Structure 1
């Protein structure tokens, strides 16, 4: 039986968002957001995890003005699976300030990937939640195959994965030469049995390998514990390798679009007060990773 989808809430008025509490660098980039369109134009997968979010580009552009963001990266949501039409159409409208992260089938041909690159795509997202029941060796082979597809285009991989899958992959990931980004700080939840030692191994991977980490969706890690519970993890990531860290809002914060995106941005200011590090995480690092 298919699970009951979460009910997406209406979008928060951008005028009510918290303003940045620190000086935003030039070319600041939100490296993780999602865009949605009308269902009659962009049909969803057969059994989506949530109802259609109120996540139109017009809403997001107003948010960018409030938060002094100049660039953004559209990450393909599970809602559309490997049908990237909404993302590609949005890139065409948004112009050179936008980049895309697609989800693809393994047999996607090279001509299609080249067309995606021309549109502004610079990465492939791997949904490892969907593969979490597979043996670790099978997941490793899948990552290797997809890394090969990305390497010729100068793209990177992005992993949407539960923390325990990340933990099991760490020895293998140390040998992956293609850059890869792990969403949501590695998603290492205590509730899933992850330990401080597991997180330390992730930080070691960040320091020495092709790994990048994304400071995104702290509410998915904090759950009911509050953002203070996430701060040590975020600070540890920043201190370990600030040149390999990016920030993302996870807008429209599925399923709760009433969240304050400005509050989430200001967490970065609480995690580090160094303007040079703000510039690195918000501007320099995404410019390098997404080929701005």
Structure 2
């Protein structure tokens, strides 16, 4: 029996957003947000995990002005599976200030891939939550195949994965030559049995491999403990390799779109007090990784 989907809440009023408490660097980029469109135009997967969010591109563009963001990256949500039409249409509408991260079936034809690249796609998202029940060797083989595809296009990989899968993949990922990003700080939850030693191994991968880490969705890690619980992890990531760290809002914060995106942005001021590091995380690093 399919699980009951989470109910997405209405969007927060822009007037109530916290404003940045630090000077936003030029060309600041949000590298992790999602866009949704009308149900009659963009059908969802058969059994979505949540109801259609109120995540319109028009609303996001207004929010960018409030927060001082100038660029963004649309990440394909699980809601649409491998049907990327909503994402591609949003890229065309947004123009050169946007890039995209698709989810795709193996065997997607070259013509489609080239068209996506022309629209601004620069990465493939691998949903390893959906493959978490497979043997590690099968997941590694899948990553290898997708990495080969990315090499031809000049794209990178993005992993949406539970922390325990990330932990099991670290020895393999150390030898992957294609750049890859792990969402949500590696998603290493104590509740899933991840340890401080596991996190240290992830930091080693960040420093020495092709790994990048995304400072995104701290509420998915903190859960009910508050953002203070995430701060040591975030500060350690920034300190380990500030040139391979990027920031994402996870807007529209599924399923709770009442979250304050400005508050999430301001966490970065608690994670580093160095303006040059903030510029790297918000501007320089995304520009390099996403070919802006």
Q: Which residue of 2 aligns with 1:279?
A: 279
**Cα deviations across residues 217-267 of structure 1 (Å, max 9, x unaligned)?**
000000000000000000000000000000000000000000000000000
1:59-138 superposed matches below 5 A: 59-138=59-138
Aligned to 1:260: 260
| Two-structure CA RMSD over aligned residues (Å) | 0.3
Deviation for aligned residue 1:15: 1.3
Match of 1:199?
A: 199
CA deviation string 1:119-168 (max 9, x = no partner): 00000000000000000000000000000000111100000000000000
Deviation beyond 6 Å, 4+ runs, structure 1 = none
Measured in 2, the distance between the counterparts of 1:247 and 1:31 equals 6
- Match for residue 150 of structure 2? 150
The 1-side partners of 2:167 and 2:109 are apart by 32
Secondary structure of the residue that 1:200 maps to in structure 2?
Answer: helix
In the other structure, the counterpart of 1:45 is 45
- The Cα of 1:14 is off from its aligned counterpart by 1.1
1:109, CA displacement in angstroms? Answer: 1.1
What is the CA deviation profile of residues 94-136 of structure 1, one whole-angstrom value per residue up to 9, with x for unaligned ones?
A: 0100000000000101111111000000000000000000000
Residue 173 of structure 2 corresponds to which residue in structure 1? 173
Give me the whole-angstrom Cα distance separating, in 1, the residues matched to 2:2 and 2:161.
21
1:163 paired residue number: 163
Deviation at 1:287, TM superposition (A): 0.1
C-alpha distance in 2, partners of 1:239/1:259?
Answer: 27
3-state DSSP class of the match of 1:178? coil
Please report the TM-score for the alignment, with normalisation by the length of structure 2.
1.00
Unaligned runs of 5+ in 1: none
The aligned residue for residue 247 of structure 1 is 247
Residues 183-239 of structure 1 deviation map (CA, whole Å, 9 limit, x = unaligned): 000000000000000000000000000000000000000000000000000000000
SS at match of 2:96: coil
- Whether 2:10 is the aligned partner of 1:10: answer yes
TM-score of the two chains, using structure 1 as the length reference: 1.00
Which residue of the partner structure matches residue 183 of structure 1? 183
Deviation at 1:32, TM superposition (A): 0.2
